Amino acid sequence: MLLCDLTIREAVTGKISLIGVFENISAAAFPVVHRGLAVYAKLADAEGDYAIRLDLVRLDDGHVLAQGTLRATFGSRMTPGELVFNLENLGFERAGRYEFRLYADDRFVAAKSFTVLGAPARSPA
């Protein structure tokens, strides 16, 4: 799984480009709303139809901040499948470690953690 600013699927080849891959989100003040990001996941060893769920979890207390679901069909275990979640207006109350957790038919598949950073304190001049 990777986090990025934007994904683009090329119409002819079907290839996905990930634009602006990142590990941290910076905020000048809290609470903050992050306007948009994409979660990209490439899954192997999957075949058939699945109920896919993506949870956003604050790691210091386990609170689920957001959750989304979709249906996905994978044709063959031998061909990895790609998922893209385009997320908008995610709210973060405070700085800290967060994690996206991916589930297929309520079974844990993968996780991607990241840090929301507050702006460093300015010293008086």
Residue 10 lies in a domain: yes
Residue 55 lies in a domain: yes
Tokens 């991916």 locate to: 102
Residues 6 or more apart whose Cβ sits within 8 Å of residue 94: 30, 31, 116
Q: Is the pLDDT of residue 121 over 90?
A: no
Residue 87 lies in a domain: yes
The domain of 68 spans 2-118
Q: How many domains is the chain partitioned into structurally?
A: 1
Domain CATH for 40: 2.60.40.2550
Residue 89 lies in a domain: yes
pLDDT digits (tens, 9 = 90+) for 25-81: 999 999 999 999 999 999 988 889 999 999 999 999 999 999 999 999 998 888 889
pTM over cut 0.85: yes
Helix (H) or strand (E) holding 6: strand 2-9
pLDDT digits (tens, 9 = 90+) for 10-40: 999 999 999 999 999 999 999 999 999 999 9
Residue 42 lies in a domain: yes
Residue 23 lies in a domain: yes
